[in-house]
Amino acid sequence: MGNLLDRMEPLLAAMPAVKSPEGHVHFKNKLIWTLGILILYFVLTNIPIFGLAPASQDLFSAWRALLAGASGSIVHLGIGPIVTASIVLQLLKGADILHIDTSETRGQVMYMGLQKILIMVMIVIEAAPNLVGSFMQPNPTIATQFFGGNLFAVSLLIFIQICIGGVLIFFMDEVVTKWGIGSGVGLFIIAGISQALVSGFINWAKVQDQYPTGFFPRLVAIGLDGGSYLTYFGTNILAFITTIAIFLIIVYVESTRIEIPLAHAQVRGARARFPVKLIYASVLPMILVRVLQANIQMVGMFLSNVGITMFGTFSGSTPQNGIMWYLAPINGPSQWMWWTTDLGHAVWQVLLRMGIDITFMVVGGAIFALFWIKTAGLDSKDVARQIQLSGMSIPGYRRNPQVLEKYLDRYIPRVTVIGGVFIGVLSVIANLFGVIGAVSGTGLLLTVSITYRLYEEIASQQIMEMYPFMRTFFGKE
């Protein structure tokens, strides 16, 4: 693997990239870049794919909250290719198959180049199945008007548009990472889910019955009409309670941390603390787990649509039976409360599916959390190196990276696993009881946590602007 990477180095180094800033980017400029990319994202989600038939199916409809794309728009794929490529790289690096030292400049260039190649490959892989098996059908009218009735030409045009959208999302993510605040992936998730949450709370549209679908309009309309809340409100109250509970729990847990005291070796009296949060690896590894499930379901839908039903059959994007039904995540009470509705499956099958979902999320959350800190430079070795370079040390211990690493090993791996398991359990619970809006419990959990961390980063950036010397002191320059 190493020799192959060495031979690929010229190609990896030549991959197109957004130019990094040469110096410090002012906080106001970061806000402008972030806001500009956010506006561009919303514009792209409202640009429909030219040539797409109205009867087309959305292969990713059940995963829209996580993929941060808009169905039938040019950004149909959302962040799917980026996250899938990250999963592949983390698995390779975590299994010690990929030997790239990301602490060096050469290793960083090679890693980023390899990631870009994988993202381009994943864009093609995830775009292609949409055009096979009657998912995204070409519009016969467009084919007649512009291509002489050639449906294949329209399908090819749809494929090209989807790929262009995937590339745009990738470069927009890179712009935010280098010139803005946070990451594009997190920003797009917040944007998509927040939009769905607002709609879930105040949507006045009437879809299923004579009352609005939004929580508050429906609450008021049923009260004014004298209708039965038990009949027409269903599980909305449960979803509302779950939404509030998830918000409060995540805010509380994000502030729960172990603080390791640090002192500067040369500046007397200069002290700091290195926080090891309970959710040390953040909730981003949970995206990896859910997107891995999404890819499994995508393969099952594709096979079912082309007539291969040995793994299960699908109704739209919902599995009806087979192994795909057992591997699908549960979203809402209607998919597991067998005593309130006929689920079409025996109780033991529903319980088995719940057990598989919980196991997948808990084990996957712990594993991907460990992979994430290793890839993102948050493990004990990298943190010890960063502390050493900043001139800080732990009081009472020798100023040595190996000593620091051994000390940090007492906390970081354990907290990472505990946090991964906790987030996995919380995500499953949120999914079981449902949340407001057309989002999953995992999506809400991600949004609250990412928003909280974005707030912390904005506060940190403001402090750096007020006290410029701190940028050099903490290695931010």
Percentage above 70 pLDDT, the chain: 91
Query: In angstroms, rounded to a whole number, what is the distance separating the alpha carbons of residues 432 and 353?
Result: 12
| pLDDT value of position 323 | 93
- Of 59-63, 191-195, 325-329, the least confident: 59-63
**Residue 473: what pLDDT?**
47
- Percent of the chain at pLDDT > 90 equals 17
Contact 328, 319 (CB under 8 A): yes
Beta bridge partners of 263: 271, 393
* C-beta of residue 309 within 8 angstroms of C-beta of residue 315: no
Task: Please report the domains of the chain, with CATH numbers, ordered by start residue.
Answer: 28-192 (1.10.3370.10), 235-477 (1.10.3370.10)
- Give the helix/strand (H/E) hosting 28: helix 27-45
Answer whether 0.95 is exceeded by the pTM.
Answer: no
Residue 437, pLDDT score: 78
CA distance 98 to 93: 5
Residue 259 pairs in a beta bridge with 275
Each residue of 185-211: pLDDT tens digit?
A: 889 988 888 888 888 888 888 877 778
Q: Return the higher-pLDDT residue of 437 and 325.
A: 325
- Closest among 8, 90, 128, 453 to 288, alpha carbons compared: 90
User: How far apart are alpha carbons 472 and 197 in whole angstroms?
Assistant: 40
pLDDT above 60 (res 469):
no
H-type helices in 128-183, by residue range?
Answer: 140-147, 151-179
Question: Would you state the structure tokens that stand for residue 151, as one six-digit string?
Answer: 């449906």
Confidence of residue 134 (pLDDT cuts 50, 70, 90): low
Residue 356 and residue 414 in contact, taking contact as beta carbons nearer than 8 Å = no
Helix and strand totals (H; E) in the chain: 19, 5
pLDDT of residue 475: 47
Please give the pLDDT value at position 58.
Answer: 77
Mean predicted lDDT score pLDDT of the chain: 83
Asked if 163 and 124 count as a contact pair (C-beta separation under 8 A), the reply is yes
Return the higher-pLDDT residue of 45 and 434.
45
What is the full DSSP assignment across 68-116? ---TTBTTTTTTHHHHHHHHHHHHHHHTT-S---TTSHHHHHHHHHHHH
- Which parts of 189-264 are beta strand (E)? 257-264
Q: Give the span between the Cα atoms of 439 and 63, in whole angstroms.
A: 9
DSSP classification of residue 149: T
- The neighbour count for residue 150, using CB atoms within 10 Å, is 13
Taking residues 28-52, what's their average pLDDT? 92
Which of 85-89, 176-180, 195-199 reaches the highest mean pLDDT? 176-180
pLDDT at 133: 58
What does the angle CA 451 – CA 453 – CA 459 come to, to the nearest 5 degrees?
105
Range of weakest confidence among 64-68, 130-134, 415-419? 130-134
* Least-confidence region, from 53-62, 380-389, 439-448: 53-62
Per mean pLDDT, which range of 105-114, 264-273, 283-292, 455-464 is the poorest?
264-273
The one-letter amino acid code at 183 reads S
Residue 371 reports pLDDT greater than 50: yes
**CA nearest to 280, candidates 355, 378, 348, 200:** 378
Nearest-angstrom CA–CA distance, 238 and 434 = 7
Q: Which residue shows structure tokens 């009218």?
A: 141
The pLDDT tens digits for 277-316 are 888 887 878 888 888 888 888 888 888 877 888 898 888 7
Any idea what DSSP says for residue 51? Answer: T
CA distance 219 to 455: 32
Return the minimum-mean-pLDDT range out of 65-69, 70-74, 348-352, 381-385. 65-69
pLDDT digits (tens, 9 = 90+) for 100-122: 776 677 777 788 888 889 999 99
